[in-house]
């Protein structure tokens, strides 16, 4: 059993581990070879000069990719522009624009071919779900809802959800904790999905909860999922559920649709441990619960006034917003670009989910002070993209630099009167420090430990190595 993470980077690497990085490195290099050997590739294309990416270079690539969310520009290539309005020195110091764009083009996760529409991103999705199952045990309350990854282009499983910030895109079914920690997610892949067909919503609930059943969890869901039949099945697996309910669901009490109530009144029906209620506030609200009864509780509304609500509704409002909270945190530092292919957009989305999950795990279990998202991201980026000036200085200090006399000599003929003699003189070099100040000074000393063994006068040597 590993101890809890002690710093943000360690928490991040719990989810983005060496096993995943090795997979991406292997598949990306293999994909680059396939692209380079394609018949339609021009001879002078950048892919022809491809060099295998390493795990260390991939981490720098991921750091730059996440950093594009910190400094937001319209196009990826803008981060390498030399115009004074665009100039961002940190990007060019770590990786050239061509290399970054080449890795992004060749980024790949599997070489397998299958009828599965999600095969291109399946290994990364499975790694995230399995990793969260392995390293984290959630509390009792869970919530299940939908999320969207923006995608406006045509694609066979593109969806439309009018209540989401991104109305068009790839739909994700997400199981999360109330604080926004994502435990598991599934991408809706259309008609050939294993959960498609009749009873799709119930199948998806059991798919997301398959590792959490028989453990006493309480899952909060919207009216898209809830029904009497589903609540009974979950209760038989020792799993409670609460949420709003559609009035035309199969299994609803016949008389619940015709009951008239005054504002604030509640009417409840109980059958086989399932509670179906109808409560009137500004409008009628149908709800279902297998744990909460018909108790009415006083609570404070948004504007400070006291209102009386059913206990199930209060708990639903408290625990149901976890997926929306996750989407809100993802929106603070958007990394997605409209030019990315759909599976690369999903990769970026899951990468950001991993970072936010790492933040929640760090704040829960670390003995250090809690961090906000901005500070947490900054500490991870400092590890992925260390200061080049500090690294160069450390490398300089690791080696003991000494000023030594130049060993190379040259022979010169010197004529004095009618006598010609051969003299041996020490070769000279131009002082590197004086040259930078536009002074021409010849010196007989050099530093062999510096790259290229440049010449130094004594004064410039002390200034350069202090």
C-beta of residue 77 within 8 angstroms of C-beta of residue 97? yes
Strand segments, DSSP code E, in 203-273 are: 218-221, 240-244, 266-271
The pTM is what?
A: 0.79
> What is the Cα–Cα distance from 127 to 17, expressed in whole angstroms?
10
> What is the Cα–Cα distance from 308 to 300, expressed in whole angstroms?
9
pLDDT for 77-130, tens place per residue?
888 887 777 777 778 888 888 899 999 999 999 988 888 888 899 999 999 999
Lowest mean pLDDT among 231-235, 334-338, 435-439: 334-338
Instruction: Assess whether pLDDT exceeds 70 at residue 256.
Output: yes
The gap from C-alpha 110 to its chain's centroid, in whole angstroms, comes to 19
At 285 the pLDDT is 92
Instruction: Assess whether pLDDT exceeds 70 at residue 2.
Output: no
Instruction: Assess whether pLDDT exceeds 80 at residue 140.
Output: yes
At 12 the pLDDT is 94
> What is the Cα–Cα distance from 385 to 388, expressed in whole angstroms?
8
> What is the Cα–Cα distance from 112 to 123, expressed in whole angstroms?
10
pLDDT for 403-417, tens place per residue?
888 877 767 777 777
Q: Which residue, among 87, 111, 110, has the nearest Cα to 97 in the 3D structure?
A: 87
Domain assignments of the chain as residue spans, ordered by start: 8-111+334-389, 122-324, 404-464
Question: Which phi-psi region, left, alpha or beta, contains residue 222 (left: φ > 0; alpha: ψ -120 to 50)?
Answer: beta
- SS3 label, residue 456: coil
Instruction: Assess whether pLDDT exceeds 80 at residue 1.
Output: no
DSSP letters of 120-176?
Answer: TTHHHHHHHHHHHHHH----SEEEEEEEEEE--S--TTEEE-TTSSS-EEEEEEEEE
Q: Which residue, among 136, 63, 40, 140, has the nearest Cα to 335 in the 3D structure?
A: 63
At 393 the pLDDT is 53
Question: Which phi-psi region, left, alpha or beta, contains residue 300 (left: φ > 0; alpha: ψ -120 to 50)?
Answer: beta
At 399 the pLDDT is 63
456: number of Cβ within 10 Å: 25
At 389 the pLDDT is 67
Q: Which residues contact 29 (CB under 8 A, 6 or more apart)?
A: 52, 53, 106
At 340 the pLDDT is 79
- Degrees, nearest 5: CA angle 382-385-387: 75
């Amino acid at each position: 059993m590993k101890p809890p993470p002690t710093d943000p980077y360690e928490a991040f690497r719990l989810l983005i581990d060496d096993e995943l990085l090795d997979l991406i490195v292997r598949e990306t290099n293999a994909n680059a070879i396939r692209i380079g050997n394609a018949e339609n590739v021009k001879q002078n294309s950048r892919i022809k000069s491809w060099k295998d990416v390493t795990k260390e270079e991939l981490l720098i690539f991921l750091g730059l990719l996440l950093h594009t969310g910190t400094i937001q520009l319209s196009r990826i290539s803008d981060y390498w522009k030399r115009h004074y309005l665009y100039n961002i020195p940190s990007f060019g110091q770590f990786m050239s624009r061509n290399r970054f764009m080449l890795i992004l083009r060749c980024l790949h996760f599997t070489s397998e071919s299958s009828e599965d529409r999600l095969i291109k991103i399946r290994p990364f999705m499975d790694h995230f779900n399995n990793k969260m199952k392995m390293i984290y045990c959630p509390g009792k309350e869970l919530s299940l809802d939908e999320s969207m990854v923006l995608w406006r282009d045509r694609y066979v499983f593109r969806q439309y959800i009018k209540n989401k910030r991104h109305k068009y895109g790839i739909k994700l079914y997400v199981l999360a904790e109330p604080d926004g920690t994502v435990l598991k997610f599934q991408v809706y892949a259309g008609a050939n999905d294993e959960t498609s067909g009749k009873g799709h919503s119930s199948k998806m609930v059991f798919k997301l909860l398959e590792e959490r059943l028989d453990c006493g969890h309480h899952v909060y869901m919207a009216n898209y999922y809830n029904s009497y039949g589903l609540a009974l099945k979950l209760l038989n697996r020792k799993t409670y559920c609460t949420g709003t309910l559609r009035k035309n669901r199969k299994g609803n009490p016949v008389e619940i649709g015709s009951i008239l109530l005054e504002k604030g009144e509640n009417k409840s029906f109980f059958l086989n441990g399932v509670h179906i209620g109808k409560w009137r506030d500004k409008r009628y609200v149908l709800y279902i619960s297998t744990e909460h009864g018909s108790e009415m509780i006083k609570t404070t509304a948004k504007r400070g006034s006291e209102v009386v609500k059913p206990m199930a509704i209060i708990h639903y409002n408290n625990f149901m917003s976890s997926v929306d909270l996750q989407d809100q945190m993802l929106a603070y530092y958007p990394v997605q670009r409209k030019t990315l292919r759909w599976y690369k957009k999903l990769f970026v989305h899951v990468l950001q989910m991993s970072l936010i999950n790492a933040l929640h795990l760090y704040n829960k279990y670390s003995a250090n002070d809690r961090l906000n998202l901005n500070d947490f991201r900054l500490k991870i980026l400092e590890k992925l993209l260390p200061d080049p000036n500090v690294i160069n200085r450390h490398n300089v200090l690791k080696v003991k630099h000494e000023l030594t006399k130049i060993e190379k000599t040259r022979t010169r003929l010197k004529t004095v009167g009618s006598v010609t003699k051969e003299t041996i003189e020490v070769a000279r070099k131009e002082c590197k420090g004086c040259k930078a100040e536009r002074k021409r000074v010849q010196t007989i000393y050099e530093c062999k430990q510096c790259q290229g063994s440049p010449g130094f006068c004594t004064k410039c040597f002390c200034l350069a190595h202090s």
